[in-house]
Amino acid sequence: MTKTKVTKDEEVSVEQKLIALYTLQQIDSQVDKIKIIRGELPLEVEDLEDEIAGLDTRIKNFHLEVEELDNSIVEQKGVIKDSETLISKYKEQQMNVRNNREYDSLSKELEFQALEIELAEKKINEVRYKIELLNTEAQNADEKLKDKKIDLEEKNKELDDIVKETVLEEQKLIDRSAENEKLIEDRLLTAYKRIRDSARNGLAVVQIERDACGGCFNKIPPQHQLDIRVHKKIIVCDYCGRILVDSTIADIVVESME
């Protein structure tokens, strides 16, 4: 069938308007299907990228914390060294004391420095244990990061493949949609887009199926069905507000799109 090309400036019959609207709906529905084929992949890729960034930050924080703990070990070793120096000094002084009072005083200092060494060694052991735990967590995070990067690479490849397969087809359909919009008066086009945006399945123009609306599946009164078949005015569903067409319009559009 030869399709008559019309513009907004020409007198357009209701039938031509319905054909243009249903054609636009079919084109836009094909674009929707392409987007569904891509599915949740873009979101999955975004989530993986966020997770990878979070793991990177976490691993860096582990390393910074370990570095701080290593510095505290150096400090405690310095405490031990200072205490050992004092112990050597006090022991040497004990050899030259003049009375018991001086000896007891030095003994207390020796005892105190020995406790300082013991405390420092305890702190070093505790810090080493923390470092071991942090290194284990960092290693686990690093392994998880490697796995996530592999997942991201696979998801990106999968998404790229799908995009390559569909991008040309999608652009052609978008171009056809834009061209078809030129055939529809502004008032109808605005109504079409408003209905389409509010409909969960993106259907603004639907065919009557088994005496019911093809969008919400509520029954269409016989008089409405007759009005729809004669193509004298544009009829919308009383329940969902979608524009209704009969099988004649649908067949014309399907044939013209083949």
Mark the ranges of the chain whose per-residue pLDDT is less than 50. 1-10
Q: Are residues 144 and 228 in the same domain?
A: no
- Domain assignment present for 177: no
Q: Are residues 168 and 234 in the same domain?
A: no
Q: Are residues 124 and 227 in the same domain?
A: no
Q: Are residues 128 and 28 in the same domain?
A: no
Residue 118, domain CATH: 1.10.287
Give me the pLDDT at residue 230, please. Answer: 92
Give me the pLDDT at residue 160, please. Answer: 86
Give me the pLDDT at residue 169, please. Answer: 78
Give me the pLDDT at residue 221, please. Answer: 92
Q: Are residues 26 and 54 in the same domain?
A: no
- What does the DSSP assignment read for the chain? -PPPP--TTS---HHHHHHHHHHHHHHHHHHHHHHHHHTTHHHHHHHHHHHHHHHHHHHHHHHHHHHHHHHHHHHHHHHHHHHHHHHHHHHHHHTT-SSHHHHHHHHHHHHHHHHHHHHHHHHHHHHHHHHHHHHHHHHHHHHHHHHHHHHHHHHHHHHHHHHHHHHHHHHHHHHHHHHHHTTS-HHHHHHHHHHHHHSTT--SEEE-BTTB-TTT-PBPPHHHHHHHHHTSS-EE-TTT--EEE-HHHHHHHHHHH-
Q: Are residues 56 and 22 in the same domain?
A: no
- Domain assignment present for 140: yes
Q: Are residues 213 and 250 in the same domain?
A: yes
The total number of structural domains that make up the chain: 2
Give me the pLDDT at residue 11, please. Answer: 60
Q: Are residues 247 and 209 in the same domain?
A: yes
Give me the pLDDT at residue 7, please. Answer: 45
Give me the pLDDT at residue 162, please. Answer: 81
**29: containing domain:** 14-38+185-257
Give me the pLDDT at residue 258, please. Answer: 64
Residue 23, domain CATH: 1.10.287.1490
> pLDDT tens across 49-108, in order?
999 999 999 999 999 999 999 999 999 999 999 999 999 999 999 998 889 999 999 999
